[in-house]
Amino acid sequence: MLELSLLRENPQIVIDRLMVKRFDAKNTVARILDADQGRRETQKMLDDNLAEANALAKEIGNLFKSGKQQEANELKARTAELKTAAKELQEKMDALQKEQDSLLITLPNLPHPDVVAGTSAEDNVIVQQEGEFPVLPEGSTPHWELCQKYDIIDFELGVKLTGAGFPVYKGKGARLQRALINFFLDNAIAAGYHEIQPPLMVNEASGYGTGQLPDKDGQMYFIGLDGFYMIPTAEVPVTNIYRDLILNAADFPVKNVAYSACFRREAGSYGKDVRGLNRLHQFDKVEIVQLQYPDKSYETLEEMRAHVAGLVRKLELPFRIVRLCGADMSFTSAMTYDFEVYSAAQQRWLEVSSVSNFESFQANRMKLRFRDGSGKTRLAHTLNGSALALPRIVAALLENNQTPEGIRVPKALVPYTGFEMIC
RNA sequence: GGAGAGAUGGCCGAGAGGUCUAAGGCGCUCGCCUGGAAAGUGAGUAUGCGCCAAAAGCGUAUCAUGGGUUCGAAUCCCAUUCUCUCCGCCA
């Protein structure tokens, strides 16, 4: 949620910057400012009314005590008037506040000035590319066939147990998963992150805090009996740890890492994009989350980007980093880097990480603040990134490292898997 | 699932219609004391919103949440949520 003060002070900047995200905010901004104006006027009247009522109540109390029943009763007439007026004012103010909030929440985050507008994912800017495309041996196949050939990931069995998009990892496939999770966690811990094991279900307030609710609830699995949502990413519980907290400036940066299973309904997805491991309803991911002092959040974004790049490099996967254009960015992000690895048999780039700076957008929603040097409270900046999401990494590892003898495990991972080949 | 108890500031905890602008303690901040520290001692120490050019200041709301009673509610009533204890079930 954007900060109201920004709209008051610079409505035109908000409108202009949101055009970069192809969002026409002109009308909404005007309505928000109208509601805000009305709300403030109403509150002034209400506060004055209540101030008078409070004073009267005190006076009446004193009169009663000194036995002046008659005078006290006379004053009561006035308090009745005030009460009626206060109720109306309160209702009016609540309605305006509600209108303002409901409008404000429809505005996306402002993109950083370095973000280009663009019209689609085609316009994302490639900022870094590394690694050679592997030359695959004769008879190479996409990962879903390799999974079947070596019996390491069973999609059919998942359908039997649950449904499409819930694969069963078996044998070296399961061990590879476990190895990757530990590899990612150990790297994050070495980089100074604090490990968290969060709940896999969250309540409504948490879903709201990170922005999945109210409008993206169709993307989450919902446990109706208890009112819980299965987390689509560990970002949700890990960031919400700090909901409604006031930190000290000295606490920054807060660096957390969490492994979790992630659950996504992915309603409306179909076709080759969802083949094999490309898109699942349940998958594993290690997520890094940072809270940072506002002035330093872009330094931190670069640090996180470098961390993720280091992981992909150690896995010997060809990758590129794109800075998303305005048209392709998420609602909540101010700047996002997507990491894509090259999946050689499918001959396509697969997105394996998304590293974003949300600036104060999430913090405002969940009232995540800190006390600056002068003792004033300010909103913190939040950032997060996948480091990394497993399925597409596994897809690329399987495809790129296939040999007639089996699938070679990258060196960095061998201490974690305990084997060098899947065969 | 059944029965009972409870929810008060950063934390502990008193408070049972007006003197709550929430006692007291702990913690924290700044002083004093000290060679330095501890102890002692003094003061300060919540958040949102509004008024004000701004600071200071003032107003208002907030004692789990939402309603209600009353001139007046942390306090009384109703509902909801959550926590704890015991019983049942259980890895």
10-residue stretch averages of pLDDT, chain A, 423 residues long? 91 94 94 93 91 87 76 80 87 89 92 93 94 91 94 94 93 96 97 93 87 82 86 93 86 93 81 81 96 93 97 96 95 95 93 95 90 81 94 95 94 96 92
Output the six-digit token pair for A341.
Answer: 């690895």
Output the CA–CA distances (angstroms, integers) from residue A355 to A22, A170, A247, A281, A362, in the order listed.
Answer: 21, 30, 23, 21, 15
Calculate the angstrom distance between C1' of B41 and CA of A168: 69
Nearest protein residue to nucleotide B17, judged by CA and C1' positions: A61
Q: Are residues A145 and A81 in the same domain?
A: no
Q: Are residues A21 and A160 in the same domain?
A: no
Answer yes or no: is A205 CB < 7 A from strand B. Answer: no
Calculate the angstrom distance between C1' of B53 and CA of A42: 22
Which nt is closest to the CA of A65, judged by C1'? B18
Other C-beta atoms lying within 10 Å of the C-beta of residue A55: 10
Calculate the angstrom distance between C1' of B33 and CA of A375: 29
Q: How far apart are CA A166 and CA A161, in angstroms?
A: 8
Q: Are residues A173 and A240 in the same domain?
A: yes
Q: Are residues A266 and A349 in the same domain?
A: yes
Q: Are residues A334 and A409 in the same domain?
A: yes
Output the six-digit token pair for A152.
Answer: 């390491």
Q: Cβ neighbours of residue A69 under 8 Å, at least 6 residues apart?
A: A63
The alpha carbon dihedral of A298, A301, A307, A312 has a sign of negative
Nearest protein residue to nucleotide B48, judged by CA and C1' positions: A367
pLDDT the model gives residue A268: 64
Q: Are residues A62 and A173 in the same domain?
A: no
Output the CA–CA distances (angstroms, integers) from residue A23 to A3, A119, A192, A244, in the order listed.
Answer: 17, 12, 38, 29
Question: Which of A62, A78, A104 is the last residue in one of the domains?
Answer: A104
Q: Are residues A305 and A377 in the same domain?
A: yes
Domain hosting A350: range is 121-422
Q: Residue A232 gets which letter from DSSP? A: S
Query: What CATH number has the domain bearing residue A31?
Result: 1.10.287.40
Answer yes or no: is A83 CB < 7 A from strand B. Answer: yes
Question: Which of A75, A104, A133 is the last residue in one of the domains?
Answer: A104
| Residue A113 domain-assigned (yes or no) | no
Question: Which of A63, A78, A104 is the last residue in one of the domains?
Answer: A104
Q: Are residues A236 and A151 in the same domain?
A: yes
Answer yes or no: is A56 CB < 7 A from strand B. Answer: yes
| Residue A20 domain-assigned (yes or no) | yes
Answer yes or no: is A79 CB < 7 A from strand B. Answer: yes
Answer yes or no: is A194 CB < 7 A from strand B. Answer: no
Answer yes or no: is A250 CB < 7 A from strand B. Answer: no
Which nt is closest to the CA of A37, judged by C1'? B50
Q: Are residues A188 and A71 in the same domain?
A: no
Query: What CATH number has the domain bearing residue A364?
Result: 3.30.930.10
pLDDT the model gives residue A269: 64
Answer yes or no: is A10 CB < 7 A from strand B. Answer: no
Calculate the angstrom distance between C1' of B59 and CA of A48: 7
Answer yes or no: is A50 CB < 7 A from strand B. Answer: yes
| Residue A125 domain-assigned (yes or no) | yes
| Residue A340 domain-assigned (yes or no) | yes
| Residue A116 domain-assigned (yes or no) | no
Answer yes or no: is A288 CB < 7 A from strand B. Answer: no
| Residue A112 domain-assigned (yes or no) | no
Q: Are residues A141 and A96 in the same domain?
A: no
pLDDT the model gives residue A272: 62
- Classified as helix, coil or strand, A371 is strand
Reported ipTM:
0.86
Answer yes or no: is A323 CB < 7 A from strand B. Answer: no
Calculate the angstrom distance between C1' of B14 and CA of A207: 38
Calculate the angstrom distance between C1' of B24 and CA of A352: 57
In the 107-136 segment of chain A, residues within 7 Å (Cβ) of strand B are none
Q: Are residues A224 and A170 in the same domain?
A: yes
Long-range contacts of A168-175 (CB under 8 A, 24+ apart): A172/A417, A172/A419, A172/A422, A173/A147, A173/A422, A175/A417, A175/A418, A175/A419
Calculate the angstrom distance between C1' of B67 and CA of A73: 27
Calculate the angstrom distance between C1' of B73 and CA of A377: 31
Answer yes or no: is A61 CB < 7 A from strand B. Answer: yes
Covered bases, chain B (protein CB within 7 Å): 18-19, 47-51, 59-61, 71-72
* Overall domain count for chain A: 2
Q: How far apart are CA A332 and CA A109, in angstroms?
A: 5
Q: Are residues A175 and A202 in the same domain?
A: yes
